[in-house]
């Protein structure tokens, strides 16, 4: 089976090259050397060309929104503005999601505003504006996954012995039709060998693209625990849909949400109150990204949840991050987090947790 897939890939690549050769033959003799020099043959690697005239050799990871993720040994994992990419010659089979039509896997040839998908002897041509997304359609599952992990560690000694540990991890699996994301945020703080903070939050979201702007969310969920706010375990699950408001070179903004259910188990409660609760809820969320400069991105995410009094009535989770690129795979992240619960649950010792909880994090983020 592996030999068959490899032979098929080689055949498609050779067939695509014959198309490139026909283009070359159609040029004048004077034009051919220039064309040959600036149009490399995709043998083993994918190639893309930018408006600046530069060719990049590597592997196409994905196109979502207006960002083309591309891995190269020279630049590492890099996101190109798709508007700046004028030529694509893929070696690998790529699955392309065409708006209001279908998904087409094949060898890609993109030049200017025309996309050609090559499937054996069949060729399908589309306008660039109709591309919703694309991603590798290879045999290896790892080709669909990417992510970033940011770690922060602060230690103090002397009059106060304290350490603060925090982690922020994003992992996503992307295909031409869908996106599955996992976001983790955790913190542990100890002062004079006494733990004073220990909270963990894991969010999951699965989006399925309908058009360039609309997407369904068949499932979103959250697992949250923070014993210092009297939350032993809180589980949220729901479904909904979303819409991309802006998707430009610099700005990307989407909103989504839908109905959900929340199960909450508290650490302790006042005598006579239930230790756990199962509540209906409405969740709305938004994510905004702005490319401030060539090395700095601002990312803002906000999640609002409305439920009954037993589960807190109203709560939100807000994250503001400045990503500063140090290298192609390493960022310096500056993050602030604000969590709020309108009616926290009182403990058995008649202690009422604070409504607000703030964090400020500085750490190094590694892309993978």
Question: 242 and 124, same structural domain?
Answer: no
- Predicted confidence band at 15 (pLDDT cuts at 50, 70, 90)? low
Question: 222 and 352, same structural domain?
Answer: yes
Question: 228 and 98, same structural domain?
Answer: no
What pLDDT score was predicted for residue 28? 42
Q: Is residue 196 predicted with pLDDT exceeding 50?
A: yes
Query: What domain range is 124 assigned to?
Result: 2-139
Q: Is residue 26 predicted with pLDDT exceeding 50?
A: no
How far is C-alpha 364 from the geometric centre of its chain's CA atoms?
18
- Count CB atoms within 10 A of the CB of residue 330: 13
C-beta separation of 315 from 338 below 8 A? no
Nearest to 79 by CA among 68, 65, 87: 68
- Mean per-residue pLDDT for 173-185? 87
Question: 102 and 26, same structural domain?
Answer: yes
Question: 230 and 277, same structural domain?
Answer: yes
C-beta separation of 169 from 201 below 8 A? no
Last residue of a domain, one of 121, 139, 157: 139
The residues with which 184 forms a beta bridge, in sequence order, are 169, 202
What pLDDT score was predicted for residue 2? 47
C-beta separation of 253 from 287 below 8 A? yes
Sequence-distant (6+) residues with CB within 8 A of 3 are none
Helix (H) / strand (E) element for 3: namely helix 2-25
More confident residue, 74 or 93: 93
Residue 85 to residues 10, 51, 128, 250, 343, Cα–Cα distance (Å): 25, 6, 11, 15, 51
- Predicted confidence band at 108 (pLDDT cuts at 50, 70, 90)? very high
Phi/psi for 142 (5° steps) reads -65, -20
Residue 268: strand, helix, or coil: coil
Phi/psi for 17 (5° steps) reads -65, -35
Question: 313 and 229, same structural domain?
Answer: yes
Question: 162 and 62, same structural domain?
Answer: no
**Which DSSP symbol is given to 129?**
G
For the chain, the average pLDDT equals 85
Count how many domains the chain has: 2
- Mean per-residue pLDDT for 317-340? 93
> Residues of the chain with pLDDT > 70: what percent?
87
Question: 165 and 42, same structural domain?
Answer: no
Residues in the chain: 368
Sequence-distant (6+) residues with CB within 8 A of 364 are 150, 151, 326, 330, 331, 332, 333
C-beta separation of 245 from 323 below 8 A? no
Q: Is residue 43 predicted with pLDDT exceeding 80?
A: no
Last residue of a domain, one of 87, 109, 139: 139
- Mean per-residue pLDDT for 125-145? 79
What pLDDT score was predicted for residue 140? 59
Angle (CA) 105 109 115, round 5°:
80
C-beta separation of 106 from 94 below 8 A? yes
Question: 307 and 215, same structural domain?
Answer: yes
Helix (H) / strand (E) element for 153: namely strand 145-156
**Best mean pLDDT range from 21-25, 27-31, 149-153:** 149-153
Alpha-carbon dihedral angle through residues 4, 6, 10, 15, given to the nearest 10 degrees? 50
Question: 104 and 17, same structural domain?
Answer: yes
- Mean per-residue pLDDT for 264-285? 92
Residue 169 to residue 357: CA distance in whole angstroms = 20
More confident residue, 178 or 258: 258
C-beta separation of 97 from 349 below 8 A? no
Residue 156 to residue 192: CA distance in whole angstroms = 10
- Mean per-residue pLDDT for 76-94? 88
Helices (H), 39-118: none
Q: What is the pTM of this model?
A: 0.72
- Mean per-residue pLDDT for 331-352? 92
Q: Is residue 251 predicted with pLDDT exceeding 50?
A: yes
Q: Is residue 160 predicted with pLDDT exceeding 90?
A: no
- Mean per-residue pLDDT for 142-159? 80
> Residues of the chain with pLDDT > 90: what percent?
48
Last residue of a domain, one of 91, 120, 139: 139
- Predicted confidence band at 303 (pLDDT cuts at 50, 70, 90)? very high
What pLDDT score was predicted for residue 282? 97
Helix (H) / strand (E) element for 206: namely strand 194-209
Residue 342 to residue 166: CA distance in whole angstroms = 25
Question: 169 and 90, same structural domain?
Answer: no
What pLDDT score was predicted for residue 41? 75
Summarize pLDDT for 304-325 with one digit per residue, the tens.
999 998 888 999 999 999 999 9
In the chain, how many H helices and how many E strands? 2, 22
Question: 157 and 120, same structural domain?
Answer: no
Summarize pLDDT for 55-72 with one digit per residue, the tens.
999 989 888 777 888 888
**Best mean pLDDT range from 73-82, 85-94, 296-305:** 296-305
């Amino acid at each position: 089976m592996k030999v068959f897939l490899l032979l098929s890939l080689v055949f498609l690549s050779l067939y695509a090259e014959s198309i490139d050769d026909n283009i070359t033959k159609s040029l004048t003799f004077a034009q051919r050397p220039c064309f040959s020099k600036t149009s490399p043959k995709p043998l083993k690697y994918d190639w893309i060309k930018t408006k600046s005239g530069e060719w990049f050799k590597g592997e196409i990871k994905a196109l979502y929104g207006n960002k083309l993720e591309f891995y190269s040994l020279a630049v590492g994992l890099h996101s190109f503005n798709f508007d700046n990419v004028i030529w694509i010659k893929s070696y690998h089979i790529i699955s392309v999601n065409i708006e209001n039509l279908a998904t087409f896997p094949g060898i890609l040839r993109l030049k200017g505003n025309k996309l050609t998908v090559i499937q054996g002897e069949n060729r399908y041509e589309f306008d660039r504006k109709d591309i919703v997304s694309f991603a590798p359609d290879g045999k290896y599952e790892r080709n669909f996954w990417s992510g970033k992990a940011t770690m922060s560690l602060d230690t103090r000694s002397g009059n106060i012995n304290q350490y603060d540990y925090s982690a922020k991890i994003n992992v996503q699996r992307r295909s031409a039709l869908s996106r599955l994301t996992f976001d983790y945020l955790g913190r542990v703080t100890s002062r004079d060998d006494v733990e004073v903070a220990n909270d963990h939050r894991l969010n999951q979201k699965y989006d399925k693209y309908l058009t360039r702007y609309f997407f369904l969310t068949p499932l979103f969920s959250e697992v949250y625990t923070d014993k210092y706010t009297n939350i032993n375990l809180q589980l949220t699950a729901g479904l909904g849909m979303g819409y991309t408001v802006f998707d430009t070179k610099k700005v990307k903004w989407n909103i989504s949400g839908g109905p959900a259910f929340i199960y909450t188990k508290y650490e302790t409660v006042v005598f006579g109150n239930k230790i756990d609760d199962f509540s209906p809820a409405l969740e709305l969320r938004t994510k905004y990204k702005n490319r401030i400069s060539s090395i700095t991105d601002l990312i803002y995410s906000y999640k609002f949840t409305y439920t009954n009094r037993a589960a807190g009535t109203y709560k939100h989770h807000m994250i503001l991050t400045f990503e500063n690129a140090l290298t192609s795979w390493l960022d310096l992240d500056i993050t602030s987090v604000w969590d709020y619960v309108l009616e926290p649950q009182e403990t058995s010792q008649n202690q009422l947790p604070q409504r607000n909880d703030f964090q400020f994090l500085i750490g190094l983020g590694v892309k993978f």
